[in-house]
Amino acid sequence: MVNSPEIPAQSSPSEASSSMSSSPSSSLQSSSSKLPPPVIPIDTRPSNIKFILTLLAFFTLGAFIAWSLGAWETSLIRVGSPSRLRPQLLFIGDSLTERGSIPSSMGWLNRLESDCARSIDIVSRGLSGYNTKWYLKYAMPVIHDEITSGNYKPSLVTIWLGANDAALPDGSMSEQHVPIAAYQNNLAKLVQTFKAIAPDAGILLVTPPHVDDEVQKTSAKTEEGPKKGLVSRSNKVTGEYARACVDTGSELDIPVLDLYTYFNDISESERNEMLVDGLHLNKAGNREMYHQLRDKISSDFPELSLKLERWQLPRFEDWVESDPWTPEESTTLDFTNVRVRG
């Protein structure tokens, strides 16, 4: 690195050139005696002094920009944001997650986004019809790349899969079926993957909810061809997958939101009124799912729960009180000489 002599701030280029030409060595010794001499002799011609001043101006501008960014980050911290980044919540699953973003049914993800719009960012990766096998094989490579490339950094990952794995092996949707042992193994692989690519994220497993058997039977009668009369799912078998999900969470020390037990503790008529087609949640079901999720986050992820309640930036009323407009801030414009074309 070339050590340049210090240029007096009030000197003109010609004066600086004169003083440097008269005694360059004494100037270096007086201003920076502990520094080694320049590796390359300094050319003190006026044109080079102008170049040096221009270079210093660029460095000064760069330093100001860097300071401004730091000051902005500091201001965010002062108004209550511990980080420039909002918590990001990643929701993976099947249609129960995908349909959580449908406004017409007031989906549970819509509710979360509405209540926490100024606190968090939501990343939904719900894929209708997917089971754990297909999610691992086809969706996870994409999500893996999204996270490792820095597209988002989840603070919480919810894994809500199993409703399609529980499709009956001899039913109308047997193609979706995944045996229970494979289902548990797939859940474990999903958890392990997220622990590897998002080590700071909390992980929450969610069981499939209940199934309305009567609606399943009614729908089966409308099927055409060889599948006519075959139901796709049953509440009993879905419960076995829910149990497997709970057991997997226990083995991996991962919290589980047991929606199956929650809904089945409600009377059959009342819980079935929360489904739109015997499988998917309607407005009432989405409301219950949302409240159950918020309660689970509050109990098992208390630090994140606090962040859900804390806005990234304060209300504008705070600035009305502390930083209002005043007449002194007005910029007076002189329109005396402005000519308007007629």
Taking only the tens place, the pLDDT of each residue in 253-273 is 999 999 999 999 999 999 999
- Assess whether 158 and 219 both reside in one domain: yes
Catalytic site includes residue 295:
no
Q: Domain boundary at 82, 99, 133, which?
A: 82
- Assess whether 140 and 52 both reside in one domain: no
Cβ–Cβ < 8 Å for 159, 193: no
Residue 163 lies in a domain: yes
C-alpha–C-alpha distance, residues 150 and 208, integer Å: 30
Cβ–Cβ < 8 Å for 20, 42: yes
Give how many domains the chain has, as a whole number: 2
**CA 155 centroid distance within chain:** 7
Structure tokens at 207: 């069981």
Average pLDDT in the 125-141 region?
99
Taking only the tens place, the pLDDT of each residue in 311-339 is 878 888 888 888 898 888 766 556 566 56
| The pLDDT of residue 258 | 99
Q: Domain boundary at 82, 114, 134, which?
A: 82
- Assess whether 203 and 262 both reside in one domain: yes
User: Is the pLDDT at 190 greater than 70, yes or no?
Assistant: yes
The catalytically annotated residue of 17, 210, 232, 280 is 280
Residue 173 lies in a domain: yes
Whole-model pTM: value is 0.71
- Find the radius of gyration of the CA atoms of the chain: 33
Residue 320 lies in a domain: no
- Assess whether 69 and 184 both reside in one domain: no
- Assess whether 215 and 305 both reside in one domain: yes
Residue 319 lies in a domain: no
- Assess whether 160 and 262 both reside in one domain: yes
The catalytically annotated residue of 11, 27, 32, 95 is 95
- Assess whether 210 and 136 both reside in one domain: yes
C-alpha–C-alpha distance, residues 204 and 187, integer Å: 11
Residue 17 lies in a domain: no
Lowest mean pLDDT among 60-64, 132-136, 208-212, 217-221: 60-64
Residue 11 lies in a domain: no
- Assess whether 57 and 135 both reside in one domain: no
- Assess whether 73 and 92 both reside in one domain: no
Residue 264 lies in a domain: yes
Task: Find the domain containing 57 and state its range.
Answer: 42-82
Across all residues in the chain, what is the average pLDDT? 83
In percent, the amount of the chain with pLDDT more than 90 equals 62
- Assess whether 117 and 243 both reside in one domain: yes
- Assess whether 166 and 304 both reside in one domain: yes
C-alpha–C-alpha distance, residues 7 and 20, integer Å: 9
- Which residue spans within the chain are E strands per DSSP? 88-93, 121-126, 154-160, 202-206, 256-257
User: Is the pLDDT at 83 greater than 80, yes or no?
Assistant: no
Taking only the tens place, the pLDDT of each residue in 6-25 is 444 444 444 444 444 444 44
Residue 322 lies in a domain: no
The catalytically annotated residue of 277, 291, 299, 318 is 277
- Assess whether 144 and 163 both reside in one domain: yes
- Here the CATH number for the domain that contains residue 199 is 3.40.50.1110
Catalytic site includes residue 277:
yes
